C-alpha cells in the first residue's frame, strides 16, 4: 500500500493564548475588580454608623444612608431659611400692621389704620400751617408799609400760627390720631343707638360719596407750593381709598356734632338735681345708705357740707339746679333722664367723668324750660366733646390704653410730611418770623 493511502493523524486543537493586554484580559480584570469591590461594599464591617447603631449594615447601606441624611439635612436647612424669610414677610406686611394699637369696647383699631390716619392728620395740619404762613407774610408786608388793618391781621395770624405749631409735634399728632379713631368707634356705636332707640335716619350720620369726594378734592388742593398730593400718597404707601376712609372719620364726627347740637334748643326738657360727690366707692356706698335711711333736706344739707367734694354745691345741700341733657356730666344726666326715673329717686353710686363718685337725687322735672342763650350756646359748642366724655365713662364700656411703642414706631410715622420739620419762630417785637427748632 502506498503512502498516499495512509490516513493522516488528526490535527491537534490550537491552544493559542490571548495576547497580553488584549480585550479579553481587560474585561476579565475589570470584572474581577468590580466583583471584589462589590464584595467589600456589601460586607459588614461591624462599625457603628451613629450613636452605636449600624453595626449590622454593610458599607454600601451606610453610604446610602449617609447620602440620604445629607440631602435631607440640606433640604431642612433650605426649608428653614425659606420659612424664616416667609415669616418675616408675613410679620412685616400682615401680622404687625393688623395688630391692635387700641381697643374700643372689644373692637380693635389696627396699627395700619392708625398709620394712615396719622399721615392724613399730619398733612392736614401741615397744610394749614403753610397756608397761614403765606397769609402772615403778605399781611406783614402791608403792616410794614403802614397799613393799620394789616397790623392787626398780622398779629392775629401770628397768634394762630403759634397755636397750630404747638400742635405740630409728634406727641401731639400721634395722640390726635389715636383719639380720632377711638372717638370714631364711639360715634359709630352711638349712631346705631340713635337709629334704633330714637328712630333717627341713618343718613343723619352717614356722609354721602359726593361729600367725601369734595373733601378729598379740597385736601388735594390744600397742598403748599412745591408739594403735591401724589408725592404724599406715594411716600407713605397710601391709596385713594385710604384717604377717603380717613376723611370719613372727620365727616362722621362733624355730622354727629351737628345732630347733638340740633337737640339743644330752648325751651328744653330739664331736671332739678342734687348730689353729694365722694372720693371712693366705699365712702359713697356708706353715705348713700345714710341718705336712703333719711332723705330729708336736713340730712342732705348736713352730709353735703361734711362729705361732698363739690365746692359749688356742698354749702347748699348739693343742689345742682336745673340741668338739660348735654349741659353737665353725661353719666349723671344719663341716669336723671332715664325713662323709669321718678321725682324723689336716689341714684345708685355713679362714677362720674372726673373719676369721683356721685349720689344723685331727682328733685323735679320740667318738660319745657327756657335756657339762657349764652348757656345754650356754650352747651352747643361742647356738645360732641361732652357726649364723647360720657360715652368713655360708661360702666359698660372699655377702652384700652393705646400702645405707645406702636404709636411712635418708625413704621407708623409718615415719610411726608416731616414731623421734625423746622417751623418758624416769631419774635413778639418783629412782624416776620425766623427759623427755629
Residue 32: pLDDT over 80? no
Write out the three cell numbers for 380. Answer: 352747643
pLDDT at 28: 57
Instruction: Sort residue 53 into left (φ over 0), alpha (ψ -120 to 50) or beta.
Output: beta
In a domain? residue 398: no
What would the mean pLDDT of 267-295 be, rounded to a whole number? 96
pLDDT band at 406 (very low <50, low <70, confident <90, very high): very high
pTM reported for the whole predicted model: 0.76
Quick one: pLDDT band at residue 29, thresholds 50, 70, 90? low
User: 283 and 251, same structural domain?
Assistant: no
**Per-residue pLDDT at 89 exceeds 60:** no
248 shares its domain with 118 = yes
Asked if residue 115 belongs to a domain, the reply is yes
293 in a structural domain: yes
Mean pLDDT of 77-100: 64
Pair (288, 362) in one structural domain = yes
Co-location of 69 and 145 in the same domain: no
**Does any domain span residue 147?**
yes
Q: Which helix (H) or strand (E) holds 35?
A: helix 23-41
pLDDT for res 373: 94
Question: How much is the pLDDT for 17?
Answer: 53
**Count of domains forming the chain:** 3
Task: Please indicate, yes or no, whether residues 72 and 137 belong to a single structural domain of this protein.
Answer: no
Domain-located, residue 402: no
Alpha-helical (H) ranges within 198-262 are 209-221, 229-235, 240-262
Residue 31 lies in a domain: no
Whether 253 and 125 share a structural domain:
yes
CB distance 264 to 326 below 8 Å: yes
252 and 371 part of one domain: no
Residue 1 confidence (pLDDT):
45
**Mean pLDDT score of the chain, rounded to an integer?**
86
Supply the pLDDT for residue 36.
54
Do 200 and 331 fall within a single domain?
no
Domain range enclosing 353: 268-392
**Same domain as 119, residue 195:** yes
Residue 286 confidence (pLDDT) = 97
- 116/255 same-domain check: yes
Q: Which residues contact 326 (CB under 8 A, 6 or more apart)?
A: 260, 263, 264, 333, 379, 383, 386, 387
Percent with pLDDT over 90 in the chain: 68
pLDDT above 60 (res 239) = yes
Provide the H-helix boundaries in 91-167.
Answer: 111-144, 148-167
Q: Is residue 431 part of a domain?
A: no
Q: Are residues 127 and 251 located together in one domain of the fold?
A: yes
Bridge partners (DSSP) of residue 424 are 435
Higher pLDDT, 89 or 286: 286
Q: Which long-range contacts (CB under 8 A, 24 or more apart) does 341-346 make?
A: 344/295, 346/288, 346/291, 346/292, 346/295
* pLDDT value for 71: 82
Question: Does 274 share its domain with 255?
Answer: no
Instruction: Output the pLDDT for position 91.
Output: 47
**Average pLDDT for residues 198-207, to the nearest whole number?**
94
In a domain, 100, yes or no: no
Q: What is the pLDDT of residue 26?
A: 57
3-state secondary structure of 324: strand
324, 310, 216: which is closest to 260 by C-alpha? 324
Confidence of residue 322 (pLDDT cuts 50, 70, 90): very high
pLDDT of residue 122: 98
> Which CATH number belongs to the domain containing residue 379 in this structure?
3.10.50.40
pLDDT per residue over 363-405, tens digit each? 999 999 999 999 999 999 999 999 998 898 888 889 999 999 9
For the stretch 148-194, pLDDT in tens is 999 999 999 999 999 999 999 999 999 999 999 999 999 999 999 99
Amino acid at each position: 500500500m502506498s503512502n498516499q493511502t495512509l490516513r493522516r493523524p488528526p490535527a491537534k486543537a490550537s491552544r493559542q493564548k490571548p495576547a497580553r493586554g488584549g480585550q479579553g484580559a481587560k474585561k476579565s480584570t475589570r470584572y474581577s475588580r468590580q466583583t471584589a469591590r462589590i464584595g467589600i461594599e456589601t460586607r459588614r464591617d461591624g462599625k457603628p454608623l451613629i450613636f452605636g447603631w449600624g453595626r449590622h449594615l454593610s458599607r454600601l447601606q451606610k453610604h446610602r444612608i449617609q447620602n440620604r441624611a445629607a440631602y435631607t439635612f440640606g433640604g431642612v436647612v433650605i426649608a428653614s431659611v425659606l420659612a424664616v424669610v416667609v415669616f418675616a414677610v408675613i410679620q412685616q406686611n400682615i401680622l404687625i400692621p393688623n395688630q391692635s394699637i387700641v381697643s374700643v369696647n372689644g373692637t380693635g383699631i389696627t396699627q395700619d389704620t392708625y398709620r394712615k390716619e396719622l399721615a392724613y392728620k399730619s398733612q392736614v395740619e401741615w397744610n394749614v400751617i403753610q397756608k397761614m404762613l403765606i397769609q402772615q407774610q403778605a399781611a406783614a408786608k402791608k403792616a410794614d408799609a403802614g397799613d393799620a388793618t394789616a397790623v392787626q391781621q398780622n398779629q392775629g395770624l401770628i397768634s394762630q400760627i403759634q397755636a397750630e405749631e404747638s400742635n405740630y409735634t409728634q406727641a401731639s399728632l400721634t395722640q390726635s390720631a389715636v383719639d380720632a379713631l377711638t372717638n370714631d368707634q364711639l360715634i359709630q356705636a352711638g349712631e346705631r343707638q340713635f337709629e334704633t332707640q330714637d328712630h333717627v335716619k341713618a343718613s343723619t350720620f352717614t356722609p354721602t360719596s359726593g361729600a367725601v369726594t369734595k373733601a378729598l378734592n379740597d385736601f388735594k388742593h390744600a397742598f403748599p407750593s412745591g408739594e403735591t398730593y401724589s408725592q404724599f400718597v406715594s411716600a407713605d404707601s397710601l391709596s385713594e381709598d385710604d384717604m377717603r376712609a380717613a376723611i370719613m372719620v372727620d365727616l362722621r364726627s362733624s355730622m354727629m356734632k351737628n345732630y347733638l347740637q340740633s337737640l339743644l334748643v330752648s325751651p328744653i326738657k330739664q331736671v332739678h338735681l342734687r348730689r353729694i360727690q365722694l372720693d371712693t366707692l366705699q365712702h359713697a356706698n356708706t353715705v348713700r345708705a345714710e341718705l336712703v335711711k333719711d332723705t330729708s333736706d336736713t340730712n342732705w344739707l348736713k352730709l353735703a357740707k361734711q362729705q361732698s367734694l363739690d365746692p359749688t354745691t356742698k354749702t347748699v345741700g348739693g343742689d345742682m339746679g336745673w340741668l338739660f341733657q348735654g349741659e353737665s356730666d353725661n353719666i349723671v344726666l344719663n341716669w336723671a333722664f332715664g325713662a323709669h326715673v321718678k321725682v324723689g329717686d336716689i341714684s345708685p353710686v355713679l362714677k362720674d367723668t372726673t373719676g369721683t363718685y356721685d349720689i344723685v337725687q331727682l328733685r323735679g322735672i320740667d318738660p319745657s324750660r327756657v335756657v339762657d342763650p349764652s348757656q345754650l350756646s356754650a352747651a352747643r359748642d361742647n356738645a360732641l366733646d361732652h357726649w364723647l366724655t360720657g360715652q368713655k365713662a360708661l360702666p359698660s364700656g372699655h377702652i384700652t390704653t393705646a400702645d405707645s411703642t406702636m404709636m411712635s414706631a418708625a413704621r407708623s410715622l409718615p415719610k411726608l410730611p416731616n414731623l421734625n420739620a423746622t417751623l418758624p419762630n416769631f419774635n413778639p417785637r418783629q412782624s416776620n418770623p425766623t427759623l427755629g427748632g
